[in-house]
Amino acid sequence: MTKNALITGITGQDGAYIARLLLDKGYEVFGLHARRASDTLWRLRELDVLDRVELIEGDLTDLSSMIRAMNKSQATEVYNLGAQSFVATSWEQPILTGYVTGLGALNMMEAIRLTNQKARFYQASTSEMFGKIQESMQSEATPFYPRSPYGVAKLYAHWMTVNYRESFDMHCSSGILFNHESPLRGIEFVTRKVTDAVARIKQGKQKELRLGNIDAKRDWGHAADYVEAMWLMLQQDVPDDYVVATGRTTTVRDMCKIAFSHVGLNYEDFVVIDPKFYRPAEVEVLLGNPAKAKAKLGWEAKISLEEMITTMVNADMKRVAREV
């Protein structure tokens, strides 16, 4: 029997990758598509899945459209990936971030509860919930200390996921994913900002790259690997929370080195520190412990940071070359 899945945030980086993964596994895939004035479907086109998914118009802040999406899709698995996900913007739009990233998750769970309580739910939680880290390596047992309105909104959604699991016996799981990137990453995030700039500088279309705190450290993996972990969580008999990470942390500075040196450039000749990109409160370092995901899901990251960043640079070199 075909399985039906509903993905919120299908037009985002992870939404596109998990849509492809689920289609490859034979699912019928439905995606919530928030109406926008400009085109947001480029990622689904790049992965060649746009014609194979059914888009349902709706917004995470609108419970009635979520209920309609559940009824229309008849989904038995729901992946809640929709969010205002850019940390820096969450200080400029804290209330919107709370509505979409926090309450949006609750709307999705309420829609499930009102339509088909048996449907399985995945919540896209985040290492940003650890924020000002309370342990040098963060696991499912590490206390949370979010440092941005985004992190706080995600923590609300995380605890509501735990609460719905415990209150209503619903199959709700929370994946605490550390940073993951790909050639489909939004241009505002630091890895893609860097790989795009490397391509432009190499092709003579940009002179410098302005960045904020390049001493920040992140545990970076590849989105294509990480969506596998999401799917695995919903295949378990018992819902649970899992950290998904590589177990290696790297500075933004060293990530820049990898990206620039791939095209024979020295990052120090082009990177300019601009306080404009500093955040009101920074998450200095993140390092995840993926032991539980490995033991219980049999999951581990396959793609290295070097392979991912060089693939991203190669993709941006092609994109920039195509521009007129």
Nearest distance from C-beta of residue 188 to ligand NAP, angstroms: 9
Nearest distance from C-beta of residue 36 to ligand NAP, angstroms: 5
Member of 120, 180, 202, 262 binding ligand NAP (CB under 6 A): 180
8 A C-beta contact, residue 186 and residue 136: no
CA atoms within 13 A on the CB side of 306: 2
> DSSP of 186-219, one letter per residue?
-TTSHHHHHHHHHHHHHTTS-S-EEES-TT-EE-
The footprint of ligand F7E on residues 58-97 (CB under 6 A) is: 85, 87
The footprint of ligand F7E on residues 196-225 (CB under 6 A) is: 211-214, 216, 218
Q: Which helix (H) or strand (E) holds 54?
A: strand 54-57
Choosing from 128, 142, 161, 164, the catalytic residue is 128
Residue 128 appears among annotated catalytic residues: yes
8 A C-beta contact, residue 293 and residue 300: yes
Residues with Cβ within 8 Å of 259's Cβ and at least 6 positions away in sequence, in order, are 191, 194, 195, 198, 267, 309, 310, 312, 313
Choosing from 11, 97, 101, 126, the catalytic residue is 126
Number of DSSP helices (H) and strands (E) in the chain, helices first: 12, 13
Choice between 61 and 116, CB closer to ligand F7E: 61
Query: Which tokens go with 121?
Result: 């739910």
Residue type, 88: A
With CB under 5 to 8 Å by kind, the binding choice for 282 among ligand NAP, ligand F7E, none is ligand F7E
Nearest distance from C-beta of residue 322 to ligand F7E, angstroms: 24
Helix-strand-coil percent breakdown of the chain, rounded to 5? Answer: 45, 15, 40
Choice between 202 and 218, CB closer to ligand F7E: 218
Member of 22, 70, 82, 119 binding ligand NAP (CB under 6 A): 82
Nearest distance from C-beta of residue 188 to ligand F7E, angstroms: 6
Q: Which residue is nearest to ligand NAP (CB)?
A: 12
Q: Whole-angstrom Cα distance, residue 217 to residue 281?
A: 14
Collapse the DSSP code of 32 into the 3-class scheme (helix H, G, I; strand E, B; otherwise coil) and give the result: strand
Cα–Cα distances (Å) from 293 to 60, 155, 172, in that order, read: 28, 20, 16
Q: Which residue is nearest to ligand F7E (CB)?
A: 216
Q: Write the binding mask 108 to 147 for ligand F7E: x where contact by CB under 6 A, - elsewhere.
A: ------------------xxx-------------------
Choice between 115 and 182, CB closer to ligand F7E: 182
Using the contact rule CB under 6 A, the part of the chain among 53-61, 206-214, 253-261, 304-312 near ligand NAP is 53-61
Residue ranges binding ligand F7E (CB under 6 A): 85, 87, 126-128, 178-179, 188-190, 193, 211-214, 216, 218, 252, 277, 279, 282-283
Q: Tell me the catalytic residues.
A: 126, 128, 150
